[in-house]
Amino acid sequence: MGNASGMDAPEKGSIYESLLNRGLSRRDFLTFCSIMAATLALPAGFAPRIAEALEKKQKPVLVWLEFPGLCW
């Protein structure tokens, strides 16, 4: 559902909750955490720690400012 500016309202909750709301299964979430551990060259034992962090961490607020035509 969009607002007057055409953008969706920010989702609240944890990163994990946001992924579940988008249709990601628990199995896919854990696979994602394993891939993240491998990408960061961490031992496989870090995947559960990544999953725990994403389940607890609140989504960050992001403000995107775009200024077309400005050159620095």
What's the domain count of the chain? 1
Q: Report, in angstroms and rounded to the nearest whole number, the Rg of the chain calculated over CA atoms.
A: 16
Range of the domain at 23: 15-56
At residue 70, the pLDDT reads 60
At residue 15, the pLDDT reads 85
CA distance 8 to 3: 6
At residue 2, the pLDDT reads 44
At residue 8, the pLDDT reads 56
pLDDT per residue rounded down to tens, the chain (72 residues)? 444 444 555 557 888 888 888 999 999 999 999 999 999 999 989 999 999 998 887 777 778 877 776 666
Examine residue 47 and state whether it is found in any structural domain, yes or no.
Answer: yes
Examine residue 66 and state whether it is found in any structural domain, yes or no.
Answer: no
Examine residue 25 and state whether it is found in any structural domain, yes or no.
Answer: yes
Q: Which two tokens stand for residue 72?
A: 């620095």
**Other Cβ atoms closer than 10 A to 46:** 17
Examine residue 22 and state whether it is found in any structural domain, yes or no.
Answer: yes
